[in-house]
Structure formats: C-alpha cells, structure tokens
Amino acid sequence: MSTASVSVGELQPSGRKLRQQRSERIIQFLLMIVATSGVLITFGVVFALVRPSVDFFRAISIGEFFGSTAWFPLYEPPDFGVWPLIVGTFSVMLLAVIIAVPGGLAIAFYLSQYASDRVRRKLKPLLEILAGVPTVVFGFFAINFVGPNVAAKIWVFSDVGFYSALSAGITVGLMIMPMMTTLAEDAMAAVPRSLIEGSYALGATKRETCTGVIFPAALSGIIAAGVIAMSRAIGETTIVLLAAGSTANFSFDIGQPMQTMSSFIGFAGLGDQPTGSTGYQTIFAVGLLLFVITFFLNMLSRRIVSKFREVYE
C-alpha cells in the first residue's frame, strides 16, 4: 500500500502560462472598459442634449415652448411654439404607420401563410433590398415620384404642392414597411404551430386562421413592432426634409408642407447656426424632445415584447 506522492504547488501553472493568466486579467479589464463605452455614449447623448436645452429654456420659457402654435425660431422676431413640429411629426408618423403597419402585416401574412417556398425565396431578397435602400434615395423618390404622381393625385381636399406631409408620410411608410414585415413575421413565427393547426382542425380557412388565431396570438409582438415603426418614422430626417419642405405649418391638412422635429433639426443644421445663438440651442431643445419621445416608445415596445414572451412559456 503506497501513498500517492504529494507535490504541493503541482496544480499551479508555470512560467509562460502564469504570465498569460496574469495578462488575461488585464485583457478582461480592458474589454470591460471598452464595453462600457456604449454607456458613455448614452450619457454623452443625454448630456449633449440637456446642457444647451437648459440654456434654451432659460431664454425661452417652457410655457412659450409648449403653449404657442407658431414655430419660427430662425425668423425675426422668432417664435418658439413647438406645436407645429409636434403636429407635423405625428402627421407624418401616422401616415407612415397607416401604410407600413397594415402593409407589413399583409406581406408578413402572405409570406408566412400563403406564399409557396419558391415565391418566398424570391420575395424575401427583394424586401431585403428595399429595406437596405438609403433614406436619401427614398427622399429622391419622394420628390420625383411619390409627390407628383401619388400624393398630388390622391389628395382631393386641397392643392398639393411640391412639398407635402402626405408625400413624406407615404414615402416614410414605404421605407419602414420592410422592417415592419420582418418584425411581424418574427411575431407570427413565435405563434406555436399547434395553435394554427388547432384552427385549421376546426375547418377554418386560411383567412380565418390568420385573422382569428395568428393575429391575436401575435398581437403583442405586432404592437411592439408597430411601436418600433412609429419611433423609426418619428426619427426619420432626410425623407421628410426633402419631401415635406421646411415650413412649420400649424395645420392638420396633410396636403400642406410641414416640418417634423427631425426635419427641423436637419434643416437648421443645413444653415449652420452660430454656436450659442438661440437658433443653435433650438436644435438641442427639439433634439431632446425627440430623444425623449423615441426613448419612451422604444421602452414601451420592449415592455410589450417581454410581456409577450411570457404568454407561451
């Protein structure tokens, strides 16, 4: 009977390996530092927006900002009532959502329930291309095609000029439709197959299965997708800048030119406001408002999605 030989320190790494393990601790630390840079960016964004906004609201009262309906910050004398921008933003957003959400849903239904594999394989890349088209190209499309050939033709309530919220809204809607399609498809794919089969087993047709079972089952996912679409539409700058003009009309006639919060920022940026001027600070005040709105929309959609996950678990 012999005793196992004992050598203390036997399970310690030697030389090279030891050095390596030490340097790994440094690597890990460095990685952590880099990983937190994202957090810095967010703080940077918030800080960059808040500081000049504070200056802005020192000069312009919040009451005037939210209490008046004239937005002419770059005129003399300037007006700082943000409502025209809000109305413009929501007009364009609503138009876009009215097109993108049903459109995205319809295409998602078609792709996931109706289309054959062959058709799907051909359609998907087309949608991917559409999803990858830069917004400036959509803007070009808006002023050369959508504006004169669609918006001007379908809007019968007023004269539609070169610039209109309608043209911008339609184009933004077309731009976010592929994204909406993808998100809706994901939501539909998460519906258990057994539910769909349960519906067919009761003699339901494809339509009834789509509207009666898949839609309600995927509803929260679809709503979340819709909310993301909204926030995308609200944040869109270039298309609106090109298609809806630079006049902050306080109007509910979507045939008129309008300005959204994002397109105002882009517009004011074109004209390069002198630092510290009130015109320069408006960029930040409006940016802050835009950031807050999209931040809440994105939080909302995350909430909905996490609720949604619980249902089928």
Partner 1 sequence: MVEDMSNATISETTARLRQSGSVVSVSLSSDSHSAADNSQNDLIMQSVDLQVHYGDFLAVRDVNLAIHKGEITALIGPSGCGKSTIIRCFNRMNDLIPTAKVGGKVFYKGIDLYGPEANAGEVRRRIGMVFQKPNPFPKSIYDNVAFGPRVNGKPTKAETDELVERSLKRAALWEEVKDRLKQSAFSLSGGQQQRLCIARALAVNPDVLLMDEPCSALDPIATARIEDLMAEIKSDYPIVIVTHNMQQAARVSDRTAFFNTEIGANATRPTGVLVEYDTTRNIFANPTDTRTEQYISGRMG
Partner 2 sequence: MSSVVSAQPVVADLHDTTSRARKGLDKLFLGGLWMFTLVAIITLVTLVGTTLLKGYSRLNWSLVANFPSPFPGDAGIQAAIFGSVWVVVTSGLISLFIAMSTAIYLEEFADQRSRLNKLITINIQTLAGVPSIVFGILGLAFIARGWLGWGFTVGTASAVLTMMVLPVMIVSAREALKAVPSSLREGAFALGATRWQTIVKQVLPSAIPGIATGSILGVSRALGESAPLILLGALAYVSSNPTGFASDYTVLPLVILKYTQEAQEEFQAVGAAAIIVLLMLLVALNMIAIIIRDKSRKSW
Partner 3 sequence: SAAKLDDSCKSSDLYKIQKIDTKYIRCEIVKGTSIHATDKAKQAKFKWTAAKESQYILANAEKETIRVDGSSTVYPLTAVAAKYFENSTKSVKKKDGAKVTVGFSGTGGGFEKFCRNETDINDASRGISAKEVAACKATGITYTEILIANDGLTVVVNPANTWATSLTMAEMKAIWKDGSTITNWKDVRPGFPDQALTLFGAGTDSGTFDSFTEFVNGKAKSVRKTGVQTSEDDNVTVKGVSSDKGAMGYFGLSYAEENSSKVKLVALDKGAGAVSPNVATVQNGTYPMARPLYIYVKNASIATKPAVGAFVQFYVDNLAQISTDAIFVPLTAQQMKDLQGGVKAIALIPRVKK
CB of 104 to partner 2, least distance (A): 8
Q: Where are the alpha helices (DSSP H) in the chain?
A: 15-35, 37-59, 62-67, 83-109, 117-132, 135-141, 152-154, 165-189, 193-201, 206-209, 215-235, 238-243, 261-270, 278-311
CA distance 135 to 143: 13
- Identify the sign of the CA torsion 210, 212, 217, 220: positive
Taking the least distance from each CB to partner 2, the nearer of 151 and 251 is: 151
Contact status: 3 vs partner 1 (CB under 8 A): yes
Residue 155 tokens read as 């809007």
The item of partner 1, partner 2, partner 3, none sharing an interface with residue 63, based on CB under 5 to 8 Å by kind, is none
Contact region for partner 2 (CB under 8 A) — 36-44, 77-85, 158-166, 247-255?
A: 36-44
The item of partner 3, partner 1, partner 2, none sharing an interface with residue 76, based on CB under 5 to 8 Å by kind, is partner 3
Contact status: 16 vs partner 1 (CB under 8 A): yes
Among 302, 303, 307, 309, binds partner 2 (CB under 8 A): 302
Tell me whether the omega of the peptide bond preceding residue 125 falls within 30 degrees of 0, making it cis: no
- Non-local (6+) Cβ contacts of 55 within 8 A are 281
The 10 Å Cβ neighbour count of residue 106 is 15
CA distance 2 to 208: 79
Among 14, 37, 116, 194, binds partner 2 (CB under 8 A): 37
Residue 7 tokens read as 């050598």
Beta-bridge partners for 79: 72
Q: Which amino acid is at 143?
A: I
Contact status: 257 vs partner 3 (CB under 8 A): yes
CA distance 60 to 79: 10
Q: Where are the alpha helices (DSSP H) in 190-277?
A: 193-201, 206-209, 215-235, 238-243, 261-270
The item of partner 3, partner 1, partner 2, none sharing an interface with residue 145, based on CB under 5 to 8 Å by kind, is partner 2
CA distance 213 to 280: 52
Taking the least distance from each CB to partner 1, the nearer of 159 and 197 is: 197
Q: Residues in contact with partner 1, total (CB under 8 A)?
A: 38
Contact status: 161 vs partner 3 (CB under 8 A): yes
CB of 281 to partner 3, least distance (A): 15
Among 268, 285, 290, 297, binds partner 3 (CB under 8 A): 268
Contact status: 64 vs partner 3 (CB under 8 A): no
Taking the least distance from each CB to partner 1, the nearer of 5 and 275 is: 5
Contact region for partner 1 (CB under 8 A) — 9-17, 49-57, 101-109, 293-301?
A: 9-17
Contact status: 152 vs partner 3 (CB under 8 A): no
Contact set with partner 1 (CB under 8 A): 1-13, 16-17, 21, 116-117, 192, 194-205, 208, 212-213, 216-217, 219, 311
Contact set with partner 3 (CB under 8 A): 70, 72, 74-77, 79, 161-163, 245-247, 257, 267-268, 270-275
